[in-house]
Structure 1
């Protein structure tokens, strides 16, 4: 369960956010801070006391526009920590989403906050916190351990149709499910090259034998895997065609 810190310099907005967070069963505790200074003091103290598990903060829900340091400033400072908490931005302004995700934010929730939308952000954060606690993956093995709801399952590499980049994580897709794992796509590309996986885009690594169709449309290339169509970047298109042709000629 998540230990949460919510940061907003407007007291009514902070109280409403805390009320919604505390009503979510995935949140163990939710505390508030009304300034960037207070937030950084709490986070720094929690990280120093990390041996005391009850003191740790898993996720910070940050407003962007605040007096003094902004939420973006706080996120930049936290990025320099060895083990920073996850960040979810909660703001009335749409224009900072690109900067937020450049700072590896888990989510970007617009005010006024809807319960259902906040619950989705909590779900994403809870999934990432679970994966953070999982053992480091042996990507050379035939199976990969994945965590979900506190239960470890083992997914065969041969069942994976494609992998999708999610920052320092990757989402592994099978024909009927998907799993978020704590390993970057570049590592999977290196380790799985000999297993028939090929990079087709900066965001996608696919199993060659799972490609059902190669499509060309007005100079753009894509592949279909089951019901999913994935774009192929120009950088990777020639290598993909060569690999597919070599495979067809066997």
Structure 2
């Protein structure tokens, strides 16, 4: 008889007693659903770090957490080369529960019951994936971080550190004061999600509003761009298209007036 593979589990919850309860429940049901807890984390940021050192089959993820909530964490985890199945854990978030039921996403309601946990873990073997676009629709508000793959690791980039996004063919570059990151993101989607923080300068560039130091006339003979944006902390200059200049000009006036 073939033995049932053991599921490697990561528990993510900001409350230590909740993590302990889940760990104890997993031990209680191990005879029925073989499993091993390979990582624990108190928030989404620590959970992403934990995935760099182990392989995870399923993540039990609390929804309401500081620094990074469970929905955003799940969006980053789906970018892993071998993403874990996600089972959300919630105490009272009726909106999330309704959205999960609508999209057939598995969830557990606190206090978690052993049989319900067994049912959820057994379903993991049938369907491991959650569509990233579904998670983006469920998440309330913009992400706090973006993520990218680099040398086999998933890196998180805090939004406040990003000065601008620049599109080049199929990739988008995120520029911080110290370096660049390659993202598998759409510039259009980034503009929609982060419209409060970034402003469109050009068909291929979005810039953080608070990163703009000023504007100056473009010294080159370019029919499409007449102005360029000067940035704080980096020598880069970003072209402003003639099409976007009327919209950007009002922001330029605010800068010059100190508003």
Determine if the TM-score, normalized by the shorter chain, exceeds 0.5.
no
Higher helix proportion: 1
TM range (shorter): 0.3 to 0.5
- TM-score, normalising length from structure 2? 0.41
Over alpha carbons, which structure has the higher Rg?
2
